[in-house]
Structure 1
Amino acid sequence: MRNPAELNPAQVAVVIPCFRAKGLVGPVVAGVLRVGEELGNYYQLLVLVVNDACPEESWHEITGHPQVQVLHHSHNRGVGAATLTGLQAALEQQCQAMVKLDADGQHPPLYLLDLIPHLLGQPAGELALVKGSRYRWPSPPGSIPWARQLGSILLEPMARAALAYRNLTDISNGYLGLNQLSCRYLMAAQLGPSLQQRYLFESSVLVRSAWLGLELREFAMLPRYGERWISSMESGAMVLPLLGFWSQATLSRLLRCYMASVSLGSGLLLMTALSSALAGYLWITRVGPEIADRTQVSAGTSSAFTTACATALVSLLLLFLYDYRSGSDVKVLRFPALLRDLEKKQSVD
């Protein structure tokens, strides 16, 4: 007698945005299909390749297969829009879990062996975003491009402040997994900040997930960068947009958490603002002019200015501590697939 799970296999969508991936997307799709065979009859994989008006017509590399669907954009709309097209198609076909990976081979399909069962094993009603991280496992020097490492050093502290996810890493990693319920919440147009259509898509997914209260999990994976990989940080084109995006996200979260509701953090923020304003006023009207005139600052003015500065500093430090403690920890996952990937890499080296 066959297992009931084999008679009604869970359908899982693997969404692959495709743009300028000639010579790359074919092997990625083939790898996903091999994983589907290894998973057996308990899961039915649906590969959704979204052709984002690729000028190389990369999607022609994909041979006909009943589990592969190619969706087309009439014009280039960006990786975010392509991903959303794939996720929407997955929801319409009642897929129970969705995984997004890139077409350039940076995201090995091997990790699907553990990621898919993990997504489908979540308790009912639990919302979570599961993403890859290339910084959760020690990597040899030079395995991650310097531009990517520099971008992480500069932007990850800002992202943690904007999201209140403690220990967050690899904010630009687009290897994403969601169960159906989490995906439906993420895609709901009326909920939370908007999802970006182009290169800020992964960042906007994190912001929206934090706004919705999704638990964030990161699974360790080995970094892979081919010769054709080009970092937007390397060209400098995305530095200012990223700084602006995360600054705005940080301000929005602080306003939502500490001004739209009353809490201890609200009091600390108010005390910081009032003390800073008083210190600024005293400097402009009293302390600064008296120093400029080389006259002695009165004891009362000096005491008031010093007290205001100290109060502002202490309140700000307490606010940082309160905000940090109010955040949520990122859960770290280490799948068995990581060991297989390590063995595979060692055999190649």
Structure 2
Amino acid sequence: MVEPTVPVLVVIPTYEERDNLEPVLSRLHAAVPTADVLIVDDASPDGTGELADALAAADPRISVLHRAGKAGLGAAYLAGFAAALRGEYQFVVEMDADGSHPPEDLPALLAALDDADVVIGSRYVPGGVVRNWPMHRELISRGGNLYSRIALGVPIKDITAGYRAFRRQVLEELDLDEVSSQGYCFQIDMAWRAVQAGFRVREVPITFTERERGRSKMSGAIVAEAFWRVMCWGTSRVLRRSHGRDDAVSGGPVRA
């Protein structure tokens, strides 16, 4: 099990999450009191950044990275990863600010790093639960995961999930400068790169609950980006296989 003294940084991107931020942080520190938090705010017009600054001033475990404007989820996480690697953090966590990723499940994600390099909080493995999501959203999510799983040839049930924990080594060894995906395609991209690099990816069940406050950032453009990029990656994989060069899943490097 991950020792409580191991430095852990939870990266939480925010854009107009003022009503959700404080309750999520309270639950997070109740679950893992030693975790540090980096809030990456994209100049939220609702004052989320100012609230984050006030919370950081009152709690040394919280810090804030202000960005000039809304530049996408992927870019926010990459900025957070860069900050984590400048520090001594050994484990880095992705978590949404809207409460859909239960902080109470974070100890299970961290514990699973005992025998994994990337741990995904999964809605679609046994024990995973989805609550209060409109049927069309769940169908899009399940369809996107099935499509990605088939196209990329990976066994990950919830490759679009945004609640996950990384060992520092993963972020150090992946070429993050090449990652340009946004939206939930960023999550597919990161998992796909980890699999290709031979890192051990494990899923643990979580209870995902649709946000109670604020608006979802999902859009048709986000879905279209994911569809297009996965199609390109899948086509490239098929071409590599046809030339005997596919090491993405079987026959590739395996981390000890």
Give the TM-score, by structure 1 length.
0.63
The 3 A distance-change label for structure 1 pair 199 and 149 is: closer
Match of 2:85 among 91, 103, 106: 91
Matched, 1:251 2:245: no
Partner of 2:23: 27
What SS does the aligned partner of 2:207 have? coil
What SS does the aligned partner of 1:14 have? strand
The 3 A distance-change label for structure 1 pair 194 and 226 is: closer
Distance 1:116 1:202 in 2: 18
* 8 Å Cα contact 1:194/1:208 also seen in 2: no
Matched, 1:149 2:138: yes
The 3 A distance-change label for structure 1 pair 95 and 187 is: farther
Distance 1:254 1:175 in 2: 29
1:34 offset after TM fit, Å?
1.7
1:96 offset after TM fit, Å?
0.8
For each residue in 1:110-169, what CA deviation from the matched residue of structure 2 results, as whole angstroms up to 9, or x when unmatched? 1122222332x34xxxx62211111222648x7432122221343223211233222x22
Matched, 1:69 2:69: no
Q: Which runs of 5+ in 2 are unaligned?
A: none
Matched, 1:158 2:152: no
Give the TM-score, by structure 2 length.
0.83
* 8 Å Cα contact 1:163/1:210 also seen in 2: no
* Structure having the larger proportion of residues in helix: 1
The 3 A distance-change label for structure 1 pair 327 and 164 is: farther
The 3 A distance-change label for structure 1 pair 153 and 10 is: closer
Query: Which amino acid letter does the alignment assign opposite residue 201 of structure 1?
Result: F
Matched, 1:184 2:172: yes
The 3 A distance-change label for structure 1 pair 171 and 250 is: same
Distance 1:97 1:76 in 2: 26
* 8 Å Cα contact 2:120/2:202 also seen in 1: yes
Query: Which amino acid letter does the alignment assign opposite residue 180 of structure 1?
Result: R
Greater length-normalized contact order (CA 8 Å, ≥ 6 residues apart): 2
The 3 A distance-change label for structure 1 pair 214 and 163 is: farther
Query: Which amino acid letter does the alignment assign opposite residue 102 of structure 2?
Result: P
Distance 1:164 1:262 in 2: 11
Matched, 1:207 2:192: yes
Partner of 1:241: 225
Structure with greater Cα Rg: 1
Partner of 1:267: none
CA RMSD, 1 decimal: 2.8
1:19 offset after TM fit, Å?
0.8
* 8 Å Cα contact 1:164/1:327 also seen in 2: no
Corresponding residue pairs, total? 244
What SS does the aligned partner of 1:76 have? coil
